[in-house]
């Protein structure tokens, strides 16, 4: 049992208290008792308000359920449905147009489009890898993935395979031709790169000397002008470094001695306290906060062993270059770090009230992660994060403008207590709940002075769609959900509302995750559409994926796309028709589904659910590559679990499935998941004893208690079962 320290009417877990007192507070400029007094005041002010808003969610859900069950509302009328949603306050009228006024936003957010990583903050190694993914080797990214093919007899695993290496070089030369176009000829014909009269000159194999079509793309170099070791250029705001070394194993194979192309890749990273981690108690939260502290102070390290040798991973230093006239250039070596706090729902035992009740976890996250960020703002850090003196907090799972207002007011109060300038804490709004999507313009209006980010999230958004409309009927098959009307409306509307609210030059419009990190060729085909849709950042699952996705931002100038979209919006005089967005994704004809179709859908959902849950409960892994039913590795977090559990729950509720069928499938798929994890020495099989497996019981509860879970969220059940597991056996 964690010992507790009483402060101003609240009981603080010793692990959290000591972390704040001994590690966070020193050099922050804030007194220990001042912080705990502020913390108590904030909980006094915001706890009841938070609880009231959670009750509103439940009331609205009950009213929607009853409306669908009322025979007077059949057959379904979209007009009557929307009128009802306005009547109960689920929808609110949109007010006049406005422009956001966010200022002091870093260039990586306001001006430059690029990839964005999301990473579990609880894992220091992952957090460091993501922070260091600002720059990545294009050669490595191509050589080690399927982008250039892998079924042609070449081997990816060798240190260097000349045949595969040649394909990488060919692909890269084409990229350079498109991004750093020459006045004549191709980079494939280059035999020398050098600087003459402050301009990049490329000698071709026919003896001609050519330059860049846009000479201003040259930024700097390292080494001598006549024989540089690297050349730094820029395209669409992103840097490209051409590294040259004719003695390198790769450089020897290139006529110009090019050994690698380094791309500016993950401009921003969201360090996640929420869906991708399994932090269920005070000790877990202390570990999460300590990693954020290490990032903000610049001293986070993680030891690891490779090839029998011990190594230490740390944050990368800034990158140094020089202009042709020898002026120093310093570029960030790390991505700009956001932090995602938890939403309004969950509570935590980090702090208890005088009545032994847990406090809202999201409020505590905002307090402590902002306090930690003072080390960056006060220049106590080895490396600066925000050059503009801002803190970037992404807030997930808010339902409508009132909940956004709660977060904004909370940030205002924290700024006052931490002696920060107004609007220092920027907010990122995750547009992943149905009530937020339908009221997005008014959500943004509430946060217009500090908003720096909006983002769509297909999985959570679909989970909320299913739960909200649980009583309306059986929903479409999961793999066909993206073909439903509401999805296109949701994605398009997010961009339109953001652009019309003045996000250009001030804030990011983001798109969601690519979930299969080993299928990079498919990602390269599909994810460019996020840019063409007007998004200036999109989520990727790994540093390698960030480097590959960066190629899209060289191919597509997002700023130009957004300018054209703004013109279209103005000329079309678009009205905000919610019909498509609120079209419930129901099965069109139950009879078209065969018994086999239904069982296959159930198998797929349950295998994925079990594969994720067993790692979460037994090992505390909140995000990892989980093999699906076809053994394709998919990057899973709680959002995936939410849609799978709610989908099964919906079909069970509408009699497409039976309870016995679900239980039989759970047991059969448990054996499949056990086999998939057979090589993991830390894995505990579920099928050995279903009755004693806490992970298996968690999966059962997520399905059979799914209708009763608030908004269909998985966290309350997962946390309860993980806590049970931790008490059963030391982890």
Q: In this model, does residue 485 exceed pLDDT 60?
A: yes
CA–CA gap between residue 608 and residue 606 (Å, rounded) = 5
pLDDT of residue 572: 54
Ordered alpha helix ranges (H), 70-161: 78-87, 107-110, 124-131, 138-143
Q: Is the peptide bond before 75 cis (omega within 30 degrees of 0)?
A: yes
Own/partner pairs, 527-533, CB within 8 angstroms, 24+ separation: 527/552, 528/552, 528/555, 528/556, 531/113, 531/556, 531/558, 531/561, 532/556, 532/561, 533/491, 533/492, 533/495, 533/561
Q: In this model, does residue 159 exceed pLDDT 70?
A: no
Q: Residue 287 in contact with residue 354, Cβ under 8 Å?
A: no
Active-site residue (options: 272, 365, 464, 637)? 637
pLDDT of residue 730: 60
Q: Is the pTM of this model over 0.85?
A: yes
Q: Residue 211 in contact with residue 220, Cβ under 8 Å?
A: no
Mean pLDDT value across residues 527-537: 98
Task: Respond yes or no: is residue 340 known to be catalytic.
Answer: yes
Residues of the chain with CATH 3.20.20.360: 82-112+270-511+557-572
Q: In this model, does residue 590 exceed pLDDT 90?
A: no
CA–CA gap between residue 635 and residue 126 (Å, rounded) = 14
pLDDT of residue 158: 59
pLDDT tens per residue, range 64-100: 999 999 999 999 999 999 999 999 999 999 999 999 9
Separation in Å, CA 322 to CA 180, 561, 579: 19, 32, 56
**CATH assignment, 590-728:** 1.20.1220.12
Q: In this model, does residue 468 exceed pLDDT 90?
A: yes
At which residue do the structure tokens 């001609």 appear?
A: 208
Out of 295-309, 310-324, 563-577, 684-698, pick the least confident. 563-577
pLDDT of residue 574: 57
Active-site residue (options: 134, 234, 290, 340)? 340
Out of 43-57, 137-151, 510-524, 601-615, pick the least confident. 137-151
Per residue, what are the HEC states of 169-197?
HHHHHHHHHHHCCECCCCHHHEEEEEEEC
Does the CA dihedral 265-270-274-275 come out positive or negative? negative
How many Cβ atoms are within 10 Å of 416's Cβ, its own excluded? 12
CA–CA gap between residue 48 and residue 353 (Å, rounded) = 12
**CATH assignment, 82-112+270-511+557-572:** 3.20.20.360
Q: Residue 520 in contact with residue 545, Cβ under 8 Å?
A: yes
CA–CA gap between residue 680 and residue 136 (Å, rounded) = 30
Domain 137-264 has CATH 3.30.70.260: no
Residues of the chain with CATH 1.20.1220.12: 590-728
pLDDT band of residue 155 (cuts 50, 70, 90) is low
CA–CA gap between residue 270 and residue 594 (Å, rounded) = 43
pLDDT of residue 152: 58
CA–CA gap between residue 676 and residue 611 (Å, rounded) = 9
> Which residue from 608, 663, 601 is spatially nearest to 635, judged by alpha carbons?
608
Close Cβ partners of 675 (under 8 Å, ≥ 6 residues apart): none
Separation in Å, CA 93 to CA 85, 263, 572: 11, 45, 21
CA–CA gap between residue 543 and residue 549 (Å, rounded) = 10
| pLDDT cut 90: percent of the chain above it | 93
Find the angle CA(550)-CA(556)-CA(559) to the nearest 5 degrees.
105
Q: Kind of pairing, strands 508-511 and 451-456?
A: parallel
DSSP secondary structure, 659-705, as one string? HHHHHHHHHHHHHHHHHHTTT-TT---STT-TTT-HHHHHHHHHHHT
Q: In this model, does residue 60 exceed pLDDT 70?
A: yes
Mean pLDDT value across residues 433-442: 98
Cα-only R_g, the chain: 26
pLDDT band of residue 589 (cuts 50, 70, 90) is confident
């Amino acid at each position: 049992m964690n010992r507790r320290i009483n402060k101003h009417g609240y009981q603080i877990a010793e692990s959290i208290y000591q972390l704040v007192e001994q590690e966070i507070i020193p050099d922050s400029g804030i007194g220990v008792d001042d912080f705990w007094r502020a913390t108590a005041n904030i909980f006094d002010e915001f706890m009841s308000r938070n609880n009231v808003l959670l009750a509103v969610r439940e009331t609205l859900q009950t009213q929607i359920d009853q409306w669908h069950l009322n025979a007077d509302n059949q057959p379904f009328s979209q007009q009557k449905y929307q009128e009802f949603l306005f009547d109960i306050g689920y929808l609110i009228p949109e007010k006049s147009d406005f422009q956001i006024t966010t200022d002091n936003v870093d260039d990586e957010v306001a001006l430059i489009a690029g990839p964005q990583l999301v990473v579990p903050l609880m894992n220091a190694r992952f957090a460091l890898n993501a922070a260091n993914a600002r720059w990545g080797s294009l050669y490595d990214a191509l050589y080690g993935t399927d982008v250039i093919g892998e079924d042609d007899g070449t081997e990816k695993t060798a240190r260097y395979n000349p045949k595969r290496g040649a394909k990488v070089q060919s692909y890269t030369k084409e990229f350079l031709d498109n991004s750093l176009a020459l006045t004549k000829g191709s980079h494939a014909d280059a035999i020398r790169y050098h600087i003459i009269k402050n301009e990049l000159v490329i000698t071709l194999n026919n003896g001609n000397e050519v330059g860049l079509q846009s000479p201003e793309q040259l930024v700097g170099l390292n080494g001598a002008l006549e024989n540089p070791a690297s050349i730094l250029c820029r395209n669409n705001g992103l840097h490209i470094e051409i590294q040259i070394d004719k003695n390198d194993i790769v450089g020897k194979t290139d006529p110009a001695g090019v050994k690698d192309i380094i791309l500016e890749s993950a401009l921003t990273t969201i360090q996640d306290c929420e869906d991708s981690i399994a932090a269920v108690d005070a000790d877990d939260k202390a570990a999460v906060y300590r990693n954020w502290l290490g990032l903000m102070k610049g001293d986070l390290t993680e030891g690891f062993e490779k090839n029998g040798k011990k190594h230490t991973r740390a944050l990368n230093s800034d990158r140094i270059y020089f202009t042709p006239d020898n002026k120093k250039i310093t570029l960030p070596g790390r991505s700009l770090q956001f932090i995602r706090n938890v939403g309004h729902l969950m509570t935590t035992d980090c702090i208890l009230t005088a009545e032994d009740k847990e406090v809202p976890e999201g409020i505590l996250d905002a307090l402590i992660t902002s306090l930690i960020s003072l080390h960056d703002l006060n220049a106590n850090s080895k490396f600066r994060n925000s050059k503009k003196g801002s803190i970037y907090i992404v807030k997930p799972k808010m339902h409508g403008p009132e909940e956004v207002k709660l977060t904004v007011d909370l940030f205002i109060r924290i700024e006052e207590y931490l002696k920060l300038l107004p609007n220092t804490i920027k907010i990122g709004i995750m547009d992943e709940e149905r009530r937020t999507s339908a009221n997005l313009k008014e959500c943004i209006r509430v946060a217009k002075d500090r908003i720096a980010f909006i983002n769509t999230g297909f999985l959570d958004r679909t989970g909320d769609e299913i739960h909200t409309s649980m009583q309306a009927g059986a929903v479409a098959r999961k793999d066909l959900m993206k073909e439903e009307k509401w999805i296109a409306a949701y994605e398009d509307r997010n961009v339109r509302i953001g652009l019309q609210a003045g996000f250009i030059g001030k804030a990011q419009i983001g798109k969601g995750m690519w979930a299969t990190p080993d299928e990079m060729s498919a990602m390269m085909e599909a994810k460019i559409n996020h840019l063409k849709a007007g998004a200036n950042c999109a989520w990727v699952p790994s540093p390698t994926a960030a480097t590959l996705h960066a190629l899209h931002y060289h191919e597509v100038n997002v700023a130009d796309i957004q300018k054209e979209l703004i013109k279209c919006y103005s000329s079309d005089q678009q009205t905000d028709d919610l019909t498509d967005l609120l079209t419930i994704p129901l099965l069109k004809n139950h009879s078209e589904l065969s018994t086999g179709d239904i069982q296959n859908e159930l198998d797929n959902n349950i295998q994925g659910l079990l594969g994720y849950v067993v790692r979460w409960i037994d090992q505390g892994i909140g995000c990892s590559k989980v093999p699906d039913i076809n053994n394709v590795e998919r990057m899973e977090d709680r959002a995936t679990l939410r849609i799978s559990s709610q989908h099964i729950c919906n079909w069970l509720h509408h009699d497409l499935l039976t309870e016995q069928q679900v239980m039989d499938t759970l047991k059969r798929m448990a054996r499949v998941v056990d086999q998939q994890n057979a090589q993991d020495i830390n894995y505990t099989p579920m099928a050995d004893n279903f009755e004693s497996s806490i992970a298996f019981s968690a999966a059962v509860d997520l399905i059979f208690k799914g209708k009763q879970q608030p908004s269909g969220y998985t966290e309350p059940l997962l946390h309860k079962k993980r806590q049970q597991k931790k008490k059963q056996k030391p982890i």
